[in-house]
Amino acid sequence: MRVRVEQTALPGIGMRHDLVTESGRRLGVVSHRNGRRDLVLYDPDDPDSSQHDIPLTDDEAEALADILGASLMLGQLSGLREQAAGLLTEQILIPAGSWYVNKRLGDTQARTRTGASIVAVLRGGEVIVSPGPTFRFASGDVVVVVGNRRGLDGVASIFADDEPDG
């Protein structure tokens, strides 16, 4: 199903973007000219009336976008896994004793060493999608890795070590 997003100018206020879900519910985001954003759930019986209006700070809007983006990405990866034999995704915990705690993703050389890619990091309820090479790991982070079985095992081994293999 193709999703249609409707954009409506709100003179003196800003812009409204709405979408109708497959179940028929209408929701939207009102972006005010002053930078404020409101998440709006419309009344199913009256699509012009809001049932709920939730103001979002910049941080909340960004976190919501990250959550939706990460869940979409993981869902797509799961679908890819079914289509591509041997392509797996796995979540790997970084233990407190790992040498890579407080080290940069680039320091792991995970993709070069294993052929597997770190596509996201889960940290304290936050999802960091596509972390760059300067991203620093913390104890308890969970890395989302994509690759074949050997690559995933290699990444798990990298983070389990208390010293790098060099």
Q: Is the dihedral of CA 47, 48, 52, 58 positive or negative?
A: positive
Output the pTM of the full model. Answer: 0.51
146 in the same domain as 103: yes
Average pLDDT over residues 43-71: 79
Angle at 73 between CA 68 and CA 74, to 5 degrees: 100
Cβ-count burial of 100 within 10 angstroms (0-12 exposed, 13-18 middle, 19+ buried)?
buried
pLDDT range class, residue 105, cuts 50, 70, 90: very high
Please name the amino acid found at residue 126.
E
110 in the same domain as 39: no
The residue with greater pLDDT, 79 or 157, is 157
Q: Which residue shows structure tokens 């709405």?
A: 18
In a domain, 98, yes or no: yes
Residue 88's pLDDT is what?
79
48 in the same domain as 94: no
76 in the same domain as 49: no
pLDDT of 136 > 80? The answer is yes
In a domain, 13, yes or no: yes
In a domain, 66, yes or no: no
Residue 78's pLDDT is what?
57
Domain housing 99: 72-160
Computed over every residue of the chain, the mean pLDDT equals 82
Residue 119's pLDDT is what?
92
Task: Please name which of 61, 59, 72, 57 lies closest in space to residue 17, comparing C-alpha atoms.
Answer: 61
Average pLDDT over residues 28-40: 87
152 in the same domain as 80: yes
CATH number of the domain that residue 86 is part of: 3.30.70.1450
% of the chain exceeding 90 in pLDDT: 29
pLDDT tens track for 143-155:
999 888 899 899 9
Residue 117's pLDDT is what?
92
In a domain, 63, yes or no: no
Query: Domain count of the chain?
Result: 2
Q: Dihedrals φ, ψ of 74, to 5°?
A: -65, -35
Residue after which a domain boundary falls, among 56, 83, 98 = 56
In a domain, 62, yes or no: no
Largest CA distance in the chain: 64
Average pLDDT over residues 76-86: 58
